[in-house]
């Protein structure tokens, strides 16, 4: 039943946007945490200052909706009354919402309305509308992995290229077999040493990431 009432109200607000705006808003400010933990309740504060054409017959209020960008669903809705005299007002609306249970960036749309109701003008006329998008970091951000072996890999690539050049160089046949044997032994020893360095560095990186 509450969902149906909310749907009817939203349809009424959408239909009323064709009417001329009667409110002049001088400032809209938002206050919402940039980071929060998973499944944590946070508070969003929206302040609105301005002036509306008011004859004392219509009742004004400020309404703020928070909606998820990904799903479009409203996760929090609240309103603060201005009253029958809205010629000069300063209103603050507080919304409370619970963050998702998993880590990540959570984006919300904040919709602000000034609603006029009652009197001879009809019910639920929208005199002002504004929106903005905010992002909240839920939990710890995913760390970028470090690559301490980059210099070793560059050295290995450089040495491998040099070895390929040496292989293509012509050598005397008499000593060719001896040189190839010595060269292969040196290559095997070097890469074994390089693999050992890579394992040690990988182990150190894992220990730092788990601390």
- Please enumerate in sequence order all residues whose Cβ is within 8 A of that of 9, keeping only pairs 6 or more positions apart, or say none: 124
- Residue 196 in any domain: the answer is yes
**Token pair listed for 117:** 């109701």
**123 & 159 share domain:** no
Total number of domains in the chain: 2
- Residue 110 lies in domain: 2-138
Q: What is the pLDDT along the chain (211 residues), one digit of tens a residue?
A: 433 333 334 433 333 333 346 889 999 999 999 999 999 999 999 999 999 988 888 899 999 999 999 999 999 999 999 999 999 999 999 999 999 999 999 999 999 999 988 655 456 788 889 999 999 999 987 665 555 556 666 666 776 766 666 666 655 555 555 455 555 565 666 666 666 666 665 555 545 544 5
Cα separation, 10 vs 119, whole angstroms: 20
Same structural domain for residues 27 and 48?
yes
- Of 138, 163, 197, the one marking the end of a domain is 138
């Amino acid at each position: 039943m509450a969902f149906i009432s909310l749907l009817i109200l939203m349809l009424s607000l959408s239909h009323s946007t064709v009417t001329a705006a009667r409110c002049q808003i001088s400032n809209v400010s938002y206050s919402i945490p940039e980071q929060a933990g998973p499944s944590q309740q946070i508070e969003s504060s929206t302040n609105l200052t301005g002036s509306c054409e008011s004859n004392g017959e219509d009742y004004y209020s400020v309404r703020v909706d928070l909606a998820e960008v990904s799903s479009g669903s409203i996760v929090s809705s609240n309103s603060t009354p201005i009253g029958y005299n809205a010629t000069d007002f300063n209103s603050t609306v507080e919304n409370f919402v619970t963050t998702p249970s998993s880590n990540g960036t959570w984006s919300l749309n904040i919709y602000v309305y000034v609603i006029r109701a009652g009197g001879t003008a009809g019910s639920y006329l929208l005199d002002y509308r504004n929106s903005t998008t905010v992002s909240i970091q839920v939990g710890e951000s995913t760390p970028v992995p470090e690559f301490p072996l980059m210099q070793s890999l560059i050295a290995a690539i450089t040495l491998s290229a040099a070895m390929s050049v040496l292989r293509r160089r012509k050598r005397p046949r008499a000593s060719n077999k001896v040189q190839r044997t010595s060269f292969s032994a040196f290559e095997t020893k070097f890469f074994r040493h390089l693999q050992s360095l890579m394992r040690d560095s990988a182990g150190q990186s894992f220990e730092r990431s788990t601390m």
